[in-house]
Amino acid sequence: MSTSSTHAPVPAAGGTQRPFALEGDERTVLLAVAERQGLDQVPDDVGELLRRPDFDHGRLIEHALRHKLGAALSDYVHRHGLRRSFPVPLRVPLLSFHQIARHRAAVLTAEAARVSRAVAAAGIAAAWTKGVVAQDRLYDGRAVRQFNDIDLMIRPGDRDRLRAALVDAGYVAEQVWDSVSGRLLPRSRAELRIYQLSPDHLPHFHRLGPDPVVPVVVLDVANSLTWHGATWQVPMDEVLAGRRSLPAGGASLPALSGAHSFLFVCLHLFREGWVDRFARLKGANLSQVAEVLREWRRLGAGERAAVRDAIAAHGLARPVAWACGHTDRVFGTSLAEDVGVGEEATAEWLGEGRDGFPG
């Protein structure tokens, strides 16, 4: 069953979420890494599990990569002196996950700062989202938050002006990078048609990168916190009016307010885990679920009140309850109740998976 961008989407997999596939001791370790990533907490029993001779380190690494936690696992293991608990052939590759993530973060953050200057010069209100601003605000600059592109939020009415500004800044539109030839090639008409039918995003912009680790810079531009045709919307004028400047890798970047950032990660998780066409393409992952929890824990009392006000003003209780309810199922928290959407986080709405994790 497919969904149209102008019709109400169906839940992924008919509304029943696939349970988190990892089990046993590997699950225990990965959940600890996801929740504590970048924090100086003593590993406690996690270290004992990793030192066991029968522990499946290879399976742990596989699932860490599937859930975008490779850099976080690498940082966790090395910072807590657990490197020698891994088999010798896995130690160097494990270390490289964090080294690569650190380099990518530095390159992409510098590029985001350059783009910010071009966008500001064009008089366009914009805010960076996801990894490029989360790396410092949520993860204390430890390069454990993996990101492969840079994400920008704008008003729908600024799409054409932003496109012109990005082209002037050296980006190309309607092309994709081919990893075999190392060249930028035209997008297919079918792909461009999808963007035309779903005008919540512009086609990704590309610019050739500086080195083999970052061979291309991908810039993803959105003009909605959800998707085109969704029942749940937040006016972009309101979202961008609350922008603030945040430190990011030595730069200063415009970003969403704390309240809107929390709502965005909830709505983005909902989009990728619940909406059929997005779940089939990408699906949600454990790092996204952990980031919902991390966002809430970093908010002050005033920001939390602003979250609750926005949920009430824009009718966001159900999608936020879906994201928070799945977070609670995975981590055993009470986030849905804390946010004030506990009544909506029913078993029927979340699905009947063992812990509800959609992926």
pLDDT tens column, 76-112:
999 889 999 999 999 999 999 999 999 999 999 999 9
**What is the average pLDDT across 335-357?**
82
Q: What is the number of other CB atoms lying within 10 angstroms of the CB of residue 170?
A: 14
Spatial neighbors of 229 by CB under 8 A, at least 6 apart, are 4, 5, 6, 7, 8, 198
Q: What distances in angstroms separate CA 339 from CA 88, 235, 306, 322, one per listed residue?
A: 45, 21, 11, 12
Tens digits of per-residue pLDDT, 131-180? 999 999 999 999 999 999 999 999 999 999 999 999 999 999 989 999 99
- Is the pLDDT confidence value at 13 over 50? no
Tens digits of per-residue pLDDT, 265-288? 999 999 988 876 566 666 788 999
For residue 198, the model assigns a pLDDT of: 85
Tens digits of per-residue pLDDT, 226-237? 999 999 999 999
CB 12 within 8 A of CB 276: yes
For residue 18, the model assigns a pLDDT of: 44
pTM over 0.95: no
Helix 258-274 / helix 286-297 crossing angle, nearest 10 deg: 160
Confidence of residue 197 (pLDDT cuts 50, 70, 90): confident
**What is the average pLDDT across 50-69?**
94
For residue 276, the model assigns a pLDDT of: 64
Average pLDDT, the chain: 89
- In whole angstroms, give the CA distance from residue 72 to residue 78: 10
- Is the pLDDT confidence value at 205 over 80? yes
For residue 160, the model assigns a pLDDT of: 96
Share of the chain above pLDDT 90, in %: 75
- Is the pLDDT confidence value at 43 over 80? no
DSSP notation for 94-141: HHHHHHHHHHHHHHHHHHHHHHHHHHHHTT--EEEETHHHHHHHTTTT
Looking only at the bridges linking them, the beta strands covering 216-222 and 150-154 are: parallel
**Minimal CA–CA distance to 180: which of 154, 215, 156, 150?**
215
Q: What is the number of other CB atoms lying within 10 angstroms of the CB of residue 4?
A: 11
Share of the chain above pLDDT 70, in %: 87
> If you compute the radius of gyration of the chain from its CA atoms, what whole number of angstroms results?
20
